[in-house]
Amino acid sequence: MSLDADQDILQDFLVEAGEILELLSEQLVDLEQSPNDPDLLNAIFRGFHTVKGGAGFLQITPLVECCHNAENVFDTLRKNQRQVTPELMDTVLSALDAVNEMFETVRSDEMPEDADPALIDALAYYAQPEGEETLSSPTEEASANQSPESSETIEAGGDITDTEFESLLNALSPEDRAAMEKESPAPKATETAAPASDDITEDEFDALLDELHGKGKGPGVAPANKPAAPAASSDEITEDEFDALLDQLHGKGKGPGVAKSEAKPEAAPKAASAPPQPPAKPAAPPAVASKAPARKEPIADTTVRVDTSRLDEIMNMVGELVLVRNRLVRLGSDSADAELAKAVGNLDVVTADLQSSVMKTRMQPIKKVFGRFPRIIRDLSRSMKKEMVLEMIGEDTDLDKNLVEALADPLVHLVRNSADHGIEMPDVREKNGKDRVGKVILSAEQEGDHILLTIADDGAGMDPEVLKRKAVEKGQLDQDAADRLTDQEAFNLIFAAGLTTKEQASDVSGRGVGMDVVKTKISQLNGTLNVWSELGKGSKIIIKVPLTLAIMPTLMIKLQDQTFALPLVNVDEIFQLDVSRANKIDGHEVIIIRDRTLPLFYLRRWLVRDPAKREISKEEMQDAHVVVVAIGNQQVGFVVDDLIGQEEVVIKPLGTMLHGTPGLAGATITGDGRIALILDIPGLLNHYTGRR
């Protein structure tokens, strides 16, 4: 069933609630480490409360019910009527999962289904004060038979039932409020004492809601014919007053009689004769008047929500400007006109600044990805009976939003792999002289126009001999080739498809597919992978990816009279060498550089169409340009005819005739106005050599 809601209001709710739910995931994991933190408990309570309120206005009843019950649990916790336990956290995290599923359904403009009744019953149980439970524990079989009334009634919390909540939401319309006020006038402000009960009437609840939304006339002045309080010059209320009103809404205030008597100056003498009670907010109206001018401008006015497609369009136009800039810089360098050279230089600087500014509008903090990992580590720790903590560094590092989304899956694989393969069981760690609690470190930092992501653990590390043996058993290497591998090359075997060091697959890992997926995805992002490990000490995997995929720094090379572009992120070094002295190993041409064996490939043989021009003369071989490129976690050498230099390019899709051509990622226009093909290095090697 589709939602019948105003689309603008719905979009506002999706944005606000989405941010709150992301934050709740982190806060709930933090709560297990600091179970008595009142600020954290209040923040989580407010998070569920805010999502519930937004869902209530949109009449998304299943979401309201689930958030309402989760909110009740934290109301009990923050009143110190129950302690945080792992079982309670399991239930609350399950509730958050259910809320997230409902949220995704709402995002698809559909009405979500009701939450699992067993989950609602479990939340209702934990919402009761400890030792005063009237509902059965969720671990008991009888919990499934609880009546709806028992799951909605909170003995000591003072909250209203779902039915009352729905009726009060419906009363928020001006017509209903007017009808309610006509039928049941608000109590007079001259009442001298607060009601004996903490409950408030529907009229009083409505008046308080009006204040929260800036539409009321002040406490105790609900009737339309009463004048507004003279000091209240602003509809805004302070945070303290907001909390006080919330307390009254949840039955924790001192009763509407006191609030009203203090809001009306003439009622104060009579109220003083009542039994002494802590004042709610005696100076509320003056405080509102005095603080209002201090707020220069609402925070919401400093931001503008822009559709990402519009940002992509602007980025494309900036890309075109970069191409024109490159062309003018090339023309300016060939001109003797000093004024022209100066103007081109200014254009170069302004274009670079504009490019940087537009790129920043597309940037998002890596925290968008990192935020999910505390929950992952927490769940893995519980399911695998391990003791683990996650340390995150550089969460505020920014990178392109497209990269943020693309990196999510590879990082999940790597973090789960560290937890499962790396961190040992607590008893094993203790026996080896380590802390029982293992540590997984996730860090990000910017290095030039690239981002470095590191996933490290202090676990068992990797045994290169075991990796070699597994590769031989799987038929991926023969014994001689395995024996020649260095330890570093052996570590890189973890990225081979089908290779795993686990004897038995689990629901976390052990099937030999996760790391292969990681390598493929990072290669598609023009990134590189490096692995370090020490047996008994731990492992570290470093990912290097460009800041953005929209504008790419490249190394321009020449093959005969055709220009090609190599992504600069893949280029490690360049040198001139006599490649005629290359050796052959296993049928592949290799060259030895600094005690390192480097496979050698002649790009001319692959990319030049004329067969007569593909072969390289002896003279060319003796003074060849070799570009060393990194693919994933390995290096190869490309022999090229000439080097043109570095240039920033904008990737253009290939035309219909060239679409899908192996080894080509796209095309661009060079500074001299010619078209250059951008090489897809992994695809190139895979197609021409069968090497992944």
Residue 342, domain CATH? 1.10.287
Output the pLDDT for position 632. Answer: 65
The answer to whether residue 293 scores a pLDDT higher than 60 is no
Query: Is the Cβ–Cβ distance between 449 and 546 less than 8 Å?
Result: yes
Strand-pairing partners, residue 630, are 635
Do 61 and 105 reside in the same domain of the chain? yes
| Residue reference for tokens 């038929």 | 475
Overall number of domains in the chain: 5
The pair of structure tokens assigned to 233 is: 């010059």
Query: Region 230-241: what's the mean pLDDT?
Result: 49
- Neighbour count for residue 377 (Cβ, 10 Å): 24
Confidence of residue 258 (pLDDT cuts 50, 70, 90): very low
Do 511 and 561 reside in the same domain of the chain? no
Quote the percentage of the chain above a pLDDT of 70.
72
Question: Does residue 502 form part of some domain?
Answer: yes
Query: Region 25-33: what's the mean pLDDT?
Result: 87
Output the pLDDT for position 509. Answer: 52
Query: Region 28-37: what's the mean pLDDT?
Result: 87
Query: Is the Cβ–Cβ distance between 508 and 548 less than 8 Å?
Result: no
Which among 524, 546, 568 is the end of a domain?
Answer: 546
Q: How far is CA 96 from CA 183, 536, 540, 552, in A?
A: 41, 37, 32, 40
Output the pLDDT for position 123. Answer: 92
Query: Is the Cβ–Cβ distance between 82 and 88 less than 8 Å?
Result: yes
Do 525 and 626 reside in the same domain of the chain? no
Give the list of residues 6+ apart from residue 335 with CB closer than 8 angstroms, or none.
341
**What is the rounded CA–CA span in Å between residue 358 and residue 128?**
52
Average pLDDT taken over every residue of the chain: 75
Q: Mean pLDDT lowest for which of 167-176, 181-190, 372-381, 506-515? A: 181-190
β 438-447/388-393 pair status: parallel
Question: Does residue 558 form part of some domain?
Answer: yes
Query: Is the Cβ–Cβ distance between 172 and 215 less than 8 Å?
Result: no
Of 190-204, 332-346, 453-467, 611-625, give the range with the top mean pLDDT: 453-467
Do 92 and 177 reside in the same domain of the chain? no
| Residue reference for tokens 């005690």 | 595
Query: Is the Cβ–Cβ distance between 403 and 436 less than 8 Å?
Result: no
Which among 252, 283, 300 is the end of a domain?
Answer: 300
Do 608 and 471 reside in the same domain of the chain? no
Question: Does residue 80 form part of some domain?
Answer: yes
Output the pLDDT for position 257. Answer: 39
Query: Region 355-370: what's the mean pLDDT?
Result: 83
DSSP states along 550-583: SEEEEEEEEETTEEEEEEGGGEEEEEEE-GGG-E
Do 574 and 506 reside in the same domain of the chain? no
Which contiguous run of DSSP H or E holds residue 627?
strand 624-631
| pLDDT tens sequence across 84-114 | 998 999 999 999 999 999 988 888 888 889 9
Question: Does residue 316 form part of some domain?
Answer: yes
Question: Does residue 514 form part of some domain?
Answer: yes
The more confident residue out of 135 and 214 is: 135
Query: Region 517-541: what's the mean pLDDT?
Result: 87
Query: Region 529-554: what's the mean pLDDT?
Result: 86
Cα 356 versus chain centre, distance: 23
| Residue reference for tokens 């945080």 | 84
The pair of structure tokens assigned to 254 is: 């001192």
Query: Is the Cβ–Cβ distance between 650 and 594 less than 8 Å?
Result: no
Residue 65: give its domain's CATH number. 1.20.120.160
Do 376 and 505 reside in the same domain of the chain? yes
Question: Does residue 584 form part of some domain?
Answer: yes
Output the pLDDT for position 474. Answer: 82
Confidence of residue 438 (pLDDT cuts 50, 70, 90): very high
Output the pLDDT for position 481. Answer: 83
Across the beta sheet with 450-457, what order do the strands follow?
388-393, 438-447, 450-457, 538-546, 528-534
Q: How far is CA 617 from CA 37, 198, 273, in A?
A: 75, 96, 109
Do 289 and 325 reside in the same domain of the chain? no
Host domain of residue 356: 308-361
The answer to whether residue 231 scores a pLDDT higher than 60 is no
Question: Does residue 28 form part of some domain?
Answer: yes
| pLDDT tens sequence across 458-512 | 999 998 898 888 888 888 888 888 888 888 888 888 887 766 655 554 555 544 4
Do 34 and 86 reside in the same domain of the chain? yes
**What is the rounded CA–CA span in Å between residue 415 and residue 390?**
10
Which among 324, 339, 361 is the end of a domain?
Answer: 361
Output the pLDDT for position 480. Answer: 85
The more confident residue out of 478 and 153 is: 478
Give the sign of the dihedral formed by CA 200, CA 202, CA 207, CA 212: positive
Do 270 and 316 reside in the same domain of the chain? no
Do 632 and 658 reside in the same domain of the chain? yes
Do 541 and 562 reside in the same domain of the chain? no
Residue 575: give its domain's CATH number. 2.30.30.40
Q: What is the pTM of this model?
A: 0.59
**What is the rounded CA–CA span in Å between residue 95 and residue 480?**
55
Query: Is the Cβ–Cβ distance between 633 and 519 less than 8 Å?
Result: yes
Residue 432: give its domain's CATH number. 3.30.565.10
Give the list of residues 6+ apart from residue 561 with CB closer than 8 angstroms, or none.
none
Question: Does residue 11 form part of some domain?
Answer: yes
**What is the rounded CA–CA span in Å between residue 259 and residue 85?**
37
DSSP states along 30-41: HHHHSTT-HHHH
Output the pLDDT for position 283. Answer: 41
Confidence of residue 575 (pLDDT cuts 50, 70, 90): confident
